């Protein structure tokens, strides 16, 4: 049975956390019965569970992790992984339960704190999500994906200046954060929003402030095609001053969106 992937989760990182550095292998190349003489039985068991996760066999992964938890009930990393598996199965209540157990076991576990926030985000509890994301960033300030999650929540909560500031911090920590789906361990990253056009406009604005015309144009086009209808404001917005004359940005601003063209065609008929 296949399950929808609603979150960008670096499952390869789950594998990496269980294998000694010299034995790390990509999920795609690891056999299901992978073992290594240098690994302990505990490491082997977790590796097998991680492979099941990477293969999206979430119920089997949960059962495998649960066997480990019988011997180590307070293993924060394994508890967090079980939470990720349940979140992939859209079982938010169980996901939250395991994330909170992970945080209780290790109060400095920023990934699990962030993941509690993603559950609140999915429940549309924007204020609570913001609180958890901030708490995760208080523990670790180098997690670009958590800054992005926080910005998403700010946008949903209509706190746009805070979202812009937070997107900027994410870009400072990791200039590729909007292009990649990596993270720090099993950290869930938000990729769903109620207004994709608005979200892409704010990302474009973040790149404009950084002076990156290519990425500004890319996200302005996405915003335009996603239904954002206030692109005209770009020409007067100081945030776009560094890139406004770039031909790539100008091209996006002068092309009529497909939905407007269709609307005009329908009206004329």
Tell me the pLDDT tens digit for each residue of 196-215.
999 999 999 999 999 999 99
Q: d(Cα 49, Cα 55) in Å, to the nearest integer?
A: 10
Average pLDDT over residues 116-138: 98
pLDDT at position 82: 98
Q: How far apart are the first and last CA of the chain?
A: 47
The Cβ of residue 169 has, within 10 Å, a number of other Cβ atoms equal to: 17
> In the predicted model, is pLDDT for residue 133 greater than 50?
yes
pLDDT at 28: 40
The predicted model scores a pTM of 0.82
One CATH from 1.10.10.10, 1.10.260.40, 1.25.40.10, 3.30.70.20 for 1-32+41-139:
1.25.40.10
Q: What are the boundaries of each domain within the chain? A: 1-32+41-139
pLDDT value for 179: 83
Average confidence (pLDDT) over 230-245: 95
What's the pLDDT at 255?
80
The candidate with the shortest Cα–Cα distance to 110, out of 81, 141, 151, is 141
Burial of 56 (0-12, 13-18, 19+ CB in 10 A): middle
């Amino acid at each position: 049975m296949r399950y929808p992937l609603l979150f960008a989760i670096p499952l390869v990182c789950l594998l990496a956390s269980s294998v000694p550095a010299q034995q790390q292998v990509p999920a795609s190349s690891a056999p299901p019965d992978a073992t290594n003489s240098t690994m302990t039985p505990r490491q082997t068991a977790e590796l097998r569970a991680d492979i099941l996760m990477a293969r999206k066999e979430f119920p089997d992964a949960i059962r495998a992790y649960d066997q480990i938890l019988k011997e180590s009930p307070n293993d924060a990393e394994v508890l967090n992984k079980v939470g990720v598996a349940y979140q992939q199965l859209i079982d938010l209540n169980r996901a939250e339960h395991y994330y909170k157990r992970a945080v209780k076991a290790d109060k400095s576990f920023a990934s699990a704190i962030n993941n509690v926030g993603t559950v609140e985000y999915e429940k549309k509890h924007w204020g609570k999500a913001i609180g958890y994301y901030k708490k995760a960033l208080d523990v670790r300030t180098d997690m670009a994906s958590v800054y992005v999650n926080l910005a998403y929540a700010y946008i949903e909560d209509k706190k746009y200046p805070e979202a812009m500031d937070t997107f900027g911090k994410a870009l400072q920590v990791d200039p590729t954060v909007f292009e990649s789906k990596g993270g720090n361990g099993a950290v869930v990253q938000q990729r769903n929003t109620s207004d994709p056009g608005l979200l892409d406009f704010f990302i474009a604005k973040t790149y404009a402030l950084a002076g990156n015309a290519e990425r500004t144009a890319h996200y302005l086009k996405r915003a335009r095609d996603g239904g954002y209808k206030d692109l005209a404001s770009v020409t007067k917005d100081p945030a776009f001053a560094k890139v406004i004359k770039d031909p790539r940005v100008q091209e996006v601003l002068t092309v009529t969106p497909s939905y407007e063209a269709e609307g005009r065609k329908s009206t004329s008929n």
